[in-house]
Structure 1
Amino acid sequence: MSEERLVLAVELARRAGALLREGYGKAMRVDRKGADDLVTEYDVRCEEVLLEGIRHAYPGDAVLAEESGASGSGDVRWYLDPLDGTSNFVHSLPIFGVSIACARNGELILGVIYDPMRDELFSAGLGQGSRLNDRPLRVSTTRELNDCLAATSFPYDLRTNLDNNLAQFSAVCLRAHDVRRLGSAAINLAYVAAGRLDAYWGMRMSAWDLAAGMLLVREAGGRISRMDGGPDALAEPTSLLASNGLVHDSLVEVLSA
């Protein structure tokens, strides 16, 4: 069952990614869900592609999608982010992707993240490892926080909520080698799985932002927790810390100070 769904997820991610490539750099309709939370016609169109494919193949599966919310019920649930990195897409900054995950009884069984601008398809199946296209992935071997290249995201209520990650960002900047903000949680997590980043953290994030990347990191040998080191969950909103495992405890200490 998992293998068939993984094949479908890969197919749908590539199909949605082709639509994003087609729209990249073109004039488009952009609406606001919040002060800093954008949605484009391509978010909606790509989500329709994903939903149509899943509902046709597995009409009994439940879905949680960023734009249309929750639908269906059952033991199997899909988590869909049709365009993670919408602000980058709107500004023609080529760092964004399609994120698809699936869980059975709350346990993630597959994750796919597709970067259409680089034609990089990151995939993982439970117990099967993580891959980039046809190459197995493994997290980095960085051991010291001073050598760590990390990334982070800021919550959409950055301007109105004092618990906004700025203090944590400053603290990690002073301890790590460097910190990046790429603008896509999915891409950040894929890069941790690929060993390009040593760690990534964020707060008040949604399940569709994280689900695929969480499995990718785990299956590549990394570690996932909340920012305070507690067990991760697909509940939302939630904080997340993903790392190669070797710098994890040091980052928990800094983020929790």
Structure 2
Amino acid sequence: MPDTLPMPISTLSLAQRNSIMNLVRRAARAEILPRFRRLDASDIAQKTSRQDLVTEADRAAEAMIARGLLRLFPNALIVGEENVAEHPEVLDKVADAELAITIDPVDGTWNYAHGLATFGVILSVLRFGVPVYGLLYDPLLDDFIAGGSDGPAEMILPTKRHARPLTTSRGGPLEELQGYLPLYMLPEDKQAEMAALMPRFERLLSLRCSCHEFRMLAQGHADFVLATGLTPWDHAAGALLAERAGGHTAMLDGSDYNAANRDGYLLSACDKATWTRLRDAFSFLLDSPAETALQDDQETTPA
């Protein structure tokens, strides 16, 4: 029977975690993998732009996962990306929800819709907006990176019943760092300055898939992820798992991350020292045009 007992303050039981993983795997096998590279044009639609797509796999997988979660957690607030697209008011409830569960049924939909294998499923469990459990699933490889606020981030291979704790990289100066940032999602007035900064790094990329970017960070294969356009289904799980692998996560202004945040920049790095160096390098993103104009005016006004 489903475990519907009240959730502990900061964790899920092992039975609940296993039930969630089994549900995600079933949805991937039933709704995501059979449609991969088999979508017709009529199965793909735009939401807000040509870069923001939804497919029949997104809708069907989210519906299946949401139904299963409500059987496991009848009182949970379910925050699915596709449902929120039609009912945005759901996001207003995240900060006050004692138990909320976010679903990104196919993260990296643009990749998925164009036949690229870089996509995944993201799920997080929140308590008043604070992530207490996160899951990053690769349906093609059939493995999870998952963990809660009470333990390490682990690579879990369900078919082998094997779990391996993960550790982030050792970091270093900017010139030795590899990371992910979405240049095209930055404000237009910040893109040129960021582009000029990029050659200082060893390598900067965007996979168009938060699931795999955070997986790379948690495994120690990348040093940081900078995110904007914040949504709980994209970022809550990765923010938690980066920390549980030994990294440091906070908003770029230094405040704590909460999945109710919709504005600003989220920076997850392999350790606190590297996070601080990156924060200093990216601090120009926090300067609004109004603040800059005010500072310039104050500097040129006679005392």
Structure possessing the higher radius of gyration over alpha carbons: 2
The separation in 1 between residues aligned to 2:79 and 2:244, in whole angstroms, is 23
Distance 1:204 1:107 in 2: 18
Q: 1:224 aligns to what SS in structure 2?
A: strand
In structure 2, the residue matched to 1:121 is 144
**Which residue in 2 is equivalent to 1:46?**
61
Distance 1:116 1:232, change over 3 A: same
Cα distance in 1 for partners of 2:235, 2:184 equals 14
Q: Distance in 2 between matches of 1:223 and 1:74?
A: 25
**Aligned partners of 1:203 and 1:121: how far apart in 2?**
24
**1:23 alignment partner, one of 35, 38, 57:** 35
1:151, 1:188 within 8 Å by CA — same for their partners in 2? yes
Confirm whether residue 141 of structure 1 aligns to residue 166 of structure 2. Answer: no
Give the match for residue 119 of structure 2.
96
Equivalent pairs counted in the alignment come to 253
Is the aligned partner of 1:170 residue 2:195?
yes
1:33 equivalent in structure 2: 47
Aligned to 2:107: 84
1:210 aligns with 2:235: yes
Which amino acid in the other structure matches residue 51 of structure 1?
A: A
* 2:252 is aligned with 1:252: no
TM-score (norm 1): 0.91
**Cα separation, 1, equivalents of 2:200 and 2:23:** 40
2:22 — aligned with what?
11
Asked if 2 retains the 8 angstrom alpha-carbon contact of 1:171 and 1:255, the reply is no
1:109 aligns with 2:132: yes
Other-structure match for 1:59: 74
Please say if residues 227 and 241 of structure 1, whose CA atoms lie closer than 8 Å, have aligned partners that are also in contact.
Answer: yes
Deviation larger for 169-178 or 134-143: 169-178
CA distance in 2, matches of 1:166, 1:11: 41
Q: Distance in 2 between matches of 1:6 and 1:47?
A: 18
The percentage of aligned residue pairs carrying the same residue is 26
RMSD: 2.0
Structure scoring higher RCO (CA < 8 A, sep ≥ 6) equals 1
CA distance, structure 2, for counterparts of residue 148 and residue 135 of structure 1: 25
- The one-letter amino acid of 2:236's match is A
Unmatched 5+ stretches in structure 1: none
Q: In structure 1, what is the Cα distance between the partners aligned to 2:79 and 2:119? A: 20
User: Which structure features the higher share of strand residues?
Assistant: 1
Q: CA deviation at 1:194?
A: 1.0
**Shift in Å, 1:171:** 4.3
Q: Distance in 1 between matches of 2:169 and 2:232?
A: 25
Q: Does 1:197 align with 2:222?
A: yes
Deviation readout 1:21-60 (Å, 9 max, x if unpaired): 2211112311111112110011101101110101111111
Shift of 1:154: 4.8
Q: 5+ residue gaps in structure 2?
A: 1-6, 85-89, 157-162, 285-303
Structure 1 contact 154–202 (Cα < 8 Å) conserved = no
TM-score, length of structure 2 as denominator length = 0.78
